[in-house]
Amino acid sequence: LICMCCCFDADSTVWRLKLDDRTMEEVALRDLTIGDSVLSLNPVTRETYWEEVMAKVHYSAFDGGRQFSSMRTLVLASNASITLSHTHFIFAQAGGDEAAQELVRARDVQVGDWLLHHDVSTGETAAEPVVSIEPDVRRQKRSFFLTSPYVLVNNISASPYMGAHPRIAAYQHAV
C-alpha cells in the first residue's frame, strides 16, 4: 500500500510543539524525531491540532536518506511553496473553486488549482492558487507517519500519505 519513493523535500518545515514551555517552533523535516507533535490542519473544517510523529523514513543512509529524488515544487500566489514527490498526496481543488479540497497526487496539481495556506501568526487559513510549478527538481527526501491524514508542511495543507492506492486514501480521508 505504500510506495517509499513518495516524500517531501528534507528542507521542508513543520511546526513542532515544544513540550517544555508549550510553545511551537518551526523545524526542518530532517530534524524531526519520533514522538514529536506536529501541527496539522483539517482541510474541511480548517481547524488546527497537534499530531504525534509515529514513524519516519529516509532519515539514514540505510533507508535512502542520502538519496536525491525527483520532486515537484508547487508555488502559490503568496510565494509560499511545497516540494514533494510526484505521487505524494496533497489536498487541492481544481479549476478555481477554493471551497472543497480533495486528496490528489502532486503530479495532478496544475497551475490555477487551489491549495490551503495557513498563517500561523494569525491562525487564518486561506485558499491560494498555484501560480507556477517546477516540474522536476532533485531533492533529498523525508517522510513521516501520523495517525491523522492531515499535516501542514511549509504552512500548506498536505497529507502524510505516500502513494497508497487512491481508493484506500479516499476511504481513509473520509473516516
Q: Give the C-alpha distances (Å, rounded to integers) separating 141 from 11, 13, 85, 148, 173.
A: 9, 13, 8, 21, 24
- In 3D space, the residue among 137, 34, 143, 15 whose CA is nearest the CA of residue 88 turns out to be 143
pLDDT, residue 96, reads 60
pLDDT, residue 63, reads 47
- Name the residue type at position 21: D
pLDDT, residue 98, reads 55
CB atoms under 10 Å from CB of 168, counted, come to 12
- In 3D space, the residue among 84, 149, 75 whose CA is nearest the CA of residue 117 turns out to be 75
pLDDT, residue 56, reads 73
Provide the grid cell at 111: 497551475
Q: Please tell me the pTM assigned to this model.
A: 0.83
In order along the chain (175 residues), what is the average pLDDT of each group of 10 residues? 59 91 89 91 91 73 61 95 90 71 90 94 94 86 80 91 52 44
